[in-house]
Amino acid sequence: RTPKYAPPAPYPGGGPPRPVPPQPGGHGGGRSGGPNTKVLLIAAIAVVAVVVIGIAVALMNGGKDDTAGNQPGGNGGATAGQSVKPSEEPTAPDEPVELPKQDAATLQLGAPAALAKDVKGAKGAGGAYVSFNGVGGSASWSVDVPEGGEYTLFITYGVPGKDAKTSLTINAGTPRSINMSNFAKAAEGDWEKGWTRTYAYVNLEKGKNDLKISCEQGDQCEAFLDQVSLKEGQAKS
């Protein structure tokens, strides 16, 4: 037997079923904010958190750039607003040390040396000076110097229009000659015009040094001693 054809049963409301159009928002039964939206939201929150943390760290560090001192040309970690002190200009070399003058009248005298004031023109206080008065006469003093080495000894003296020669002894050394020539070109016998100055280079030890100007055997000691002074190094004035 051939079965009879039976038409399909009609759907309620009539007509075949219509396809359901896709809902906005993709999967999830038409709910908005599916999985992709959640991912984007989480990423945005993470970015904001990173920015906030970065700002907080910058505020805590006070805006310092810790790498400044490690970069070529860096200022060693100086922060904004700080001024870097410029290098100081080279200092000029120190001037030679000049020790105070001493009047011969204040020195320790050895007989027959003696003080006198008869001849005018001496620079010592009250016009006083030392006369050697022959062999053995001496004037001694001590001086402290800041450094050992070369010094210049200046001697102010007077001669009666002719050359003289005395001796200088430093510490326990051997006496050496001091030229007391008539540099003032005074006429012979003119003591008042015979005041002049000479100098000698000496080598001193750091600290205390003992010096003596004296009339020794073989010297021509017809001279008056007025003042003595020292200057560091070799000088002529």
Helix, strand, coil shares of the chain, percent, nearest 5, are 15, 30, 55
Number of domains in the chain: 1
pLDDT at 12: 47
Closest CA to 66 of 54, 56, 76, 53: 76
Question: Is 168 inside any structural domain?
Answer: yes
pLDDT at 29: 43
pTM over 0.85: no
Q: Which domain holds residue 110?
A: 102-232
The tens digit of pLDDT for each residue in 19-34 reads 545 554 444 444 444 4
Question: Is 62 inside any structural domain?
Answer: no
Higher pLDDT pick, 38 / 111: 111
Cα 76 versus chain centre, distance: 22
CATH of the domain at 218: 2.60.120.260
Cα 184 versus chain centre, distance: 45
Question: Is 79 inside any structural domain?
Answer: no
Question: Is 145 inside any structural domain?
Answer: yes
Question: Is 163 inside any structural domain?
Answer: yes
In this structure, is the dihedral angle defined by the CA atoms of residues 24, 29, 31 and 35, taken in order, positive or negative? Answer: negative
Question: Is 69 inside any structural domain?
Answer: no
Question: Is 129 inside any structural domain?
Answer: yes
